Structure 1
Amino acid sequence: MTASIDDLSTERSTELLTGVLLGDNFRQEHGFWQRMISTEPFRRPGHRAPDERLRLAYERLRILNDCLDSGARLAADPRALAALHEWLGPVDPALTTVAGIHYNLFLGSLLDHEEGGRRDLSDFLRLRSIGTFLCTEVAHGNDAAAVETTAAYDRARDGFVLHTPHAGAQKFMPNTSPAGGPKTGLVAARLLVDGADHGVFLFLVPLTDAVRPLPGVRVRRLPARMGSPVDHCLTSFDQVFVGRDALLGGDHGRIGDDGGFSSAVGSRRRRLLASIGRVTSGKISMSACAVGSARATLAVAVRYGGHRYISGPRGSRQVPVMAHRSHHGPLARAMATVFAMSLLHRRALNRWEGRKDGSGPGREEAERLVAVAKGWISWQARSVIVECRERCGAQALLENNGMTELITGVEGVITAEGDNLAIHAKAAAEMLFATEPAAHGAPLGGEPGDLTDPGFLGRLLAVLEEIWFGRARERLGRAPHGDSLERWNIASGPALRGVEAHAHRQAAEAYADAVAGLPEGPARGRLVELQRLFALDRIARNSGDLLAAGYLTADQVNGLPDALEEVITVVAAHLPALADSFALPQELLADWPIAGADYVDAYDDPAGAWQLDGDRATTPGGR
């Protein structure tokens, strides 16, 4: 009876922690995707060539679409889009890429700019044509406002002529080949009316049929990209005509019946931002993809560490490799980071949704948090995935064990929807030149705080943000006026550290909110331990700054290593249960051999000598 009660308590704790990671409504929000990746069409296939894997990604996209009650509803729901990426990311990065482009960037943009509901979306909802998004050019990536593809208004034909003026203006990296079926693109191009440049807008342009590009459209496959295969291409236009309704117009700009251009937005840059607003939802989806991939990799590493046995010291009995601090220590740190990533992702998603109904911060603040979260989360995912791969040794280098694809996949996430460094630099500039930030509570009130107090640790992380932005402002104040680039260069180093500290503070606050939302019990205790480990780890890396500023004493700095070791010991003891809270389907884990205790069976040889040993022993004269 006692064991049964213990089992129920463990199950309840796991469920509570799953709610922390996925949200209180996780069954409704995530259940569909959990069930989908458990079905046979989404099981990991055997070895396939890149073109076969690409074909499989598009086959799965059609299966996914057939399972939806409404592709338009998915495209209009940021939470559903994030959940798609969170669960499909670890299963098939190529599928995740093409699905994200189709539902978020393509369909979502069409829905956002739908005027009067007059556009027929049935071909895209039924995947008779797959949608793609053409913004980046060979010579223009993060500076999308400078794209050079043109869309000149032709009054005589009442439409637009798209043209690529030179090699640098070729659209770079969209999935525009006929692979998977006919493609239609949203093309970012400069709107020219009677020679006047009105800025960058999106235009709906048919690109290919099922076999080849359409007339005037040139598509060339790029060299193979590291990681999962997607049909990334160079795409250019030679005087391609589309009708007036191809323009995704709205208040930010439209062509009237008289052929004149009008806009309620005076800035060409703001017109661009209105046109490509779906990039923010894309950043949220990229964070979700990184979180899901890191969780899956960590779960596999924890399992493998528990059933990979090695010789004990001095020839004693074998022990699991997880018994060694050198092995479980990095995984404990990774667990605290993965929980922080998950919590920050959900915080950014909630803030972005809240700005629509006025219940959250303003749009600009919410958008900045989304950008900061995307950069920090995807960088942390890379570190976690690489650490987990290393902890699993040579076997994790094999494709069938799932990790190599996720290592390369997260590199794409780091670059997609804005390169991390570029979006963090933009956030740093905004925060640097904003009004002087308010203090988040002085951690010392006459007496030093306690390193076991999560509240004190959270305030230290807030102080670090202020320290780094304070240094950036001081450097900016000493910089000579007149050269804005030089002034930014002088301040950018500490300002970028300030953005990193801002991410740490936001994650720490999300931890505190999650702890407060749990009832007293084992689940809350586990989360507090992870909260402390996350904060102590970051504080230890910046202890000199906190000591110099008077927020830590010398004794506290000296005590940080022991405090970290103590909490690592506690967290490490619960790693398997914490990994269970990720709620990964058993079917998914079964597709990765090293996730199972019987992983050696995946390497068995039916013709091996050991298969014959039993028969030989019972055969007269056998050796």
Structure 2
Amino acid sequence: MTDLRRLLADPAFDRPPNADPAALHAHAYAALARIRAVAGPAPDLLADRDRLRDLATWTTVRDPLLFHLSVLHYCLCLNGIARFAPDPAAALARVGDDTGILLMTEAGRSNSHGAIATEAHYDTATREFTLRTPTPAAVKFPTNAAPSDVPKTALVYARLVTGGTAHGVFTFALRIGGPHGTPPGLRLSPVDGSTALPVDFAAVAFDGLRLPFDAWHSDGAAIDDRGRLTDPLGTPDARLRRSMSVGVATWHAITAAAAAAARAAATIAIRYSRTRLTADRLSGPRPLLDYRNQHIALLTALADACAITSLTEPGDPAPEPAGASTAWVPWSAVDPLLPLYKAVAVDTAWRAVTECREHCGALGYAATPKLLAYQSLMDAYRTAGGDNTLIRLDTARSLAAGYEAPEDDPPDEPRTAADFLALARSCERRLVATLRERLAQSRAVAEDEFGVWNGQLELAIETAAVHAERLLMERFAPEGGDLAALHGAAWARRRAASLQRCGLAVPASALERRAHELCDRLLPKVSSIVDGFGFEPAHLGTFLGEPDHLAAFADRYGFADLG
């Protein structure tokens, strides 16, 4: 999608300086409209993983807010309409130029996706649906539905009720904002949003809002003249899994966004560190990147960024953990791997971006909002798109229920990417065995499944996290060379406690020595690596990302005539 890359280099996509929230929101939605004109029809985009990856990449790098609005519009709202509407072409045509938003999450309960309480009551006399919010806990929040001049189509998740009987969760289309106004029965309350991800948040409730029959995305289900529902999926649980299947495109997009944010942050920090000179008494002026602590941190961030980028490329499917139903969230029932990839990508990117921001010193805060914006986006998506902790807990249930763990053949002294992968395999196998043993002990004394699991939740999260990190190494190790080895060495240093628990501890001095050797080999190549990402200064939006940050600073702020 080279047209999108060129488009987003336009200075018009810069956020307006000193804008109030309303002006910032108006600018963001206008920018999204320009992106939509280039990205093309939603069905074509969603069917092409490469194009979806490019959309996620370039919107994230240019402005994380644009990525967030894009994923809501394409991957969640329009994707849901295209999947579930009985006549997708007609339903998408009704959306027209509206911006798509999502009304799914409810305010009053953790993991509310699995127990949506908003109701859609069917009226046999009028063939209409009435949306109701039965309690404050069912209020939809957060969502970008604050009143504005922007026309929007919301994909509303609600439990269908016919003849007094509650059925599964379906989706409904609701048009609001701009010429659509605020329909009767819709209660909107604007909420002060985060300045880090400045979305036009609102809390939304329904008080008898009526929708026509064609607002219902029946997805093969039918209601007869007597109000009786026939759903070919058979059960509410199956319907919920189907309604949550919009997650597939969403997880692909979030993973690509995480990889892009990490690569962009590494590019900014490495370029800055190459031309930022020190003034200490040990060596006199020399680039920051010469210092061991600086380049260990930034090259590790670069290696991690490249590792999660490997998740955005087609690859052989990993063996799927199987055997247990979901308990915390429905995502793993939709796909056992994609939400886990999303979780490991986002957490890895958050760590990489944070390292890059901190190693840019004061300028990482004061000179640009970009690094904080990347970090905030990753913070948001630790929960959005499926909570990472809950995804890991459901994965741990599957790992404990019959999953065949990888072989246990640790290397004597890990040096290569393949060695660190073997170490991760052994660590995972032993953690799975420990988790199963602990659960068996708990099951002998606990009164219920909550009691069985509650004392083992920390171990469960650790086990699923190592499983995900091992899968990441499987994707990156074969082609990653020294970067993959550095990623593995950093993993072993970070997971020292897990390795010790499993009897696999590696001497810290050996890991430190190997990381130093790898960095010495990578340093001469680092500029060409980050240049290969293709991020132009206009995309990065900060003088820190210029080849010579000081010259760019002087030129931008009018000091080039000095000296």
- Pair in the same fold by TM > 0.5: yes
Find out whether 1:233 has 2:202 as its counterpart.
yes
How far did 1:429 drift? 1.4
Structure 1 residue aligned with 2:57:
86
- Does the 8 A contact of 1:265 with 1:271 survive in 2? yes
Find out whether 1:579 has 2:530 as its counterpart.
yes
- Does the 8 A contact of 2:272 with 2:549 survive in 1? no
- Does the 8 A contact of 2:4 with 2:39 survive in 1? no
CA RMSD of aligned residues (A): 2.8
Q: Which moved more, 1:36-45 or 1:384-393?
A: 36-45
How far did 1:572 drift? 3.1
| Amino acid across the alignment from 1:39 | D
Aligned match for 2:545, one of 586, 591, 595: 595
How far did 1:79 drift? 3.7
Structure 2 residue aligned with 1:5:
none
Find out whether 1:189 has 2:158 as its counterpart.
yes
Structure 1 residue aligned with 2:340:
372
Structure 1 residue aligned with 2:71:
100
Find out whether 1:110 has 2:61 as its counterpart.
no
Deviations, residues 333-386 of structure 1 (Å, cap 9, x unaligned)? 1111111111134357x759x9xxxxxxxx969822211111111111111111
Separation of aligned partners in 1, 2:113 and 2:499: 40
| Amino acid across the alignment from 1:336 | A
- Does the 8 A contact of 2:276 with 2:549 survive in 1? no
How far did 1:424 drift? 1.4
| Amino acid across the alignment from 1:559 | A
Aligned match for 1:144, one of 108, 113, 124: 113
TM-score using structure 1 length? 0.81
Separation of aligned partners in 2, 1:293 and 1:207: 32
Q: Which moved more, 1:416-425 or 1:537-546?
A: 537-546
- Does the 8 A contact of 2:485 with 2:518 survive in 1? yes
How far did 1:140 drift? 3.2
Q: 3-state SS of the aligned residue for 1:191?
A: strand
Indicate the percent of aligned positions where both proteins have the same amino acid.
Answer: 25
Separation of aligned partners in 2, 1:465 and 1:572: 32
Q: 3-state SS of the aligned residue for 2:420?
A: helix
Counterparts in 2 of 1:38-49, with a 5 A limit?
Answer: 38-43=9-14, 45-49=16-20
User: 1:421 and 1:399, CA in 2 relative to 1: closer, same or farther beyond 3 A?
Assistant: farther
Aligned match for 2:43, one of 40, 59, 72: 72
Paired positions, count: 549
Find out whether 1:482 has 2:450 as its counterpart.
no
Structure 2 residue aligned with 1:510:
475
- Does the 8 A contact of 2:124 with 2:225 survive in 1? no
Unaligned runs of 5+ in 1: 1-29, 355-362, 516-526, 615-623
Q: 3-state SS of the aligned residue for 2:131?
A: strand
Structure 1 residue aligned with 2:23:
52
Q: 3-state SS of the aligned residue for 1:276?
A: helix
Structure 2 residue aligned with 1:318:
285
- Does the 8 A contact of 1:207 with 1:217 survive in 2? no
Deviations, residues 458-487 of structure 1 (Å, cap 9, x unaligned)? 111111111111111110011124321111
Separation of aligned partners in 1, 2:42 and 2:497: 52
How far did 1:571 drift? 2.4
| Amino acid across the alignment from 2:132 | H
Q: 3-state SS of the aligned residue for 1:213?
A: coil
Separation of aligned partners in 1, 2:243 and 2:346: 25
Q: Which moved more, 1:275-284 or 1:111-120?
A: 111-120
Separation of aligned partners in 1, 2:128 and 2:305: 50
Separation of aligned partners in 2, 1:41 and 1:388: 27
Structure 1 residue aligned with 2:168:
199
Q: 3-state SS of the aligned residue for 1:485?
A: helix
Separation of aligned partners in 1, 2:464 and 2:475: 16
User: 1:462 and 1:587, CA in 2 relative to 1: closer, same or farther beyond 3 A?
Assistant: same
User: 1:197 and 1:508, CA in 2 relative to 1: closer, same or farther beyond 3 A?
Assistant: same
Aligned match for 1:213, one of 176, 182, 186: 182
Unaligned runs of 5+ in 2: 321-330
Deviations, residues 235-279 of structure 1 (Å, cap 9, x unaligned)? 11111111222221124x332355320012233122112112102
Deviations, residues 320-343 of structure 1 (Å, cap 9, x unaligned)? 111111211101111111111111
Structure 1 residue aligned with 2:326:
none
Structure 2 residue aligned with 1:27:
none
Separation of aligned partners in 1, 2:433 and 2:279: 52
- Does the 8 A contact of 1:347 with 1:510 survive in 2? no
Separation of aligned partners in 1, 2:28 and 2:451: 46
User: 1:598 and 1:282, CA in 2 relative to 1: closer, same or farther beyond 3 A?
Assistant: closer
Counterparts in 2 of 1:210-359, with a 5 A limit?
Answer: 210=179, 212-251=181-220, 253-314=221-282, 317-346=284-313, 351=317
Structure 2 residue aligned with 1:472:
435
How far did 1:533 drift? 1.1
Q: Which has the larger radius of gyration?
A: 1
- Does the 8 A contact of 1:301 with 1:391 survive in 2? yes
Q: 3-state SS of the aligned residue for 2:183?
A: coil
Separation of aligned partners in 2, 1:104 and 1:548: 41
TM-score using structure 2 length? 0.90
- Does the 8 A contact of 1:151 with 1:162 survive in 2? yes
Find out whether 1:167 has 2:136 as its counterpart.
yes
Separation of aligned partners in 1, 2:50 and 2:110: 27
Structure 2 residue aligned with 1:518:
none
| Amino acid across the alignment from 2:476 | Y
Separation of aligned partners in 1, 2:544 and 2:88: 51
Counterparts in 2 of 1:389-428, with a 5 A limit?
Answer: 389-398=357-366, 400=368, 402-428=370-396
